[in-house]
Amino acid sequence: MKTIALALAATACLATPSLAQSAGDMTMGFGIGYVSPKSNNGILAGAQTEIDGNARPTFTFEYFVRDNIGIEVLAALPFKHDINLGGANIGSTKHLPPTVSVNYHFPTGGKVTPFVGVGVNYTTFFEDRSSLGDLKIENSWGLAAHVGADFAITETAALRMDLRYIDIASDVYLNGANIGRVKVNPVVVGASYIVKF
């Protein structure tokens, strides 16, 4: 009886769809990402700064240069953040954080394919607004880390859950004067639908 049960379990595992990653494969992902800035975002004009989180649709494209190794580009609709200075809301900003990563997908051969990645991020800030005057947040370059897993639905589709850490730190100017450096350094929580073609 145990032998039959083991055989059935093995057959079920073999029948489970997997999302294999081979050289030359490409995937596209459509989902949502929540940018959660770290607490304590620095001191601006002598006061503690806090930046709130925001969620927006995200898009990914990944090209596999070798089996299980892909170069991925992350894009998104603009994120908007309120800026609080000393506990009071003093303005807002929008940003786009395109990120290029090299991901390694562990070849488990099963339904769940975990991955890790490292990359570089360029964040551009725009529509900086403040009740205190002319606000300008400089654009930022930084490193990024990526971890997650794909849960195969079919041989060409999967649901992805992932986390990214992005190094975002920028000089801030008010009425032309440098008032400090803001450190956003967010964790980005993502969920998306991945299609391989």
Q: Is 54 helix (H, G, I), strand (E, B) or coil?
A: strand
For the domain spanning 2-196, the CATH number is 2.40.160.20
Strand partners, 113: 150
> Domains of the chain: which residue ranges?
2-196
pLDDT digit string, tens, across residues 62-109: 999 999 999 999 999 999 999 999 889 999 999 999 999 999 999 988
Q: Is 11 helix (H, G, I), strand (E, B) or coil?
A: helix
Residue 148 has pLDDT above 50, yes or no: yes
d(CA 9, CA 177): 67
Q: How many CB atoms lie within 10 A of CB 96?
A: 16
Confidence tier at 39 by pLDDT (50, 70, 90): confident
* pLDDT at 17 (0 to 100): 61
- pTM: predicted TM-score of the whole model, two decimal places: 0.86
Number of helices (H) and strands (E), helices first, in the chain? 1, 15
Are 183 and 41 in contact by the 8 Å Cβ rule? The answer is yes
Structure tokens given for 16: 């489970």
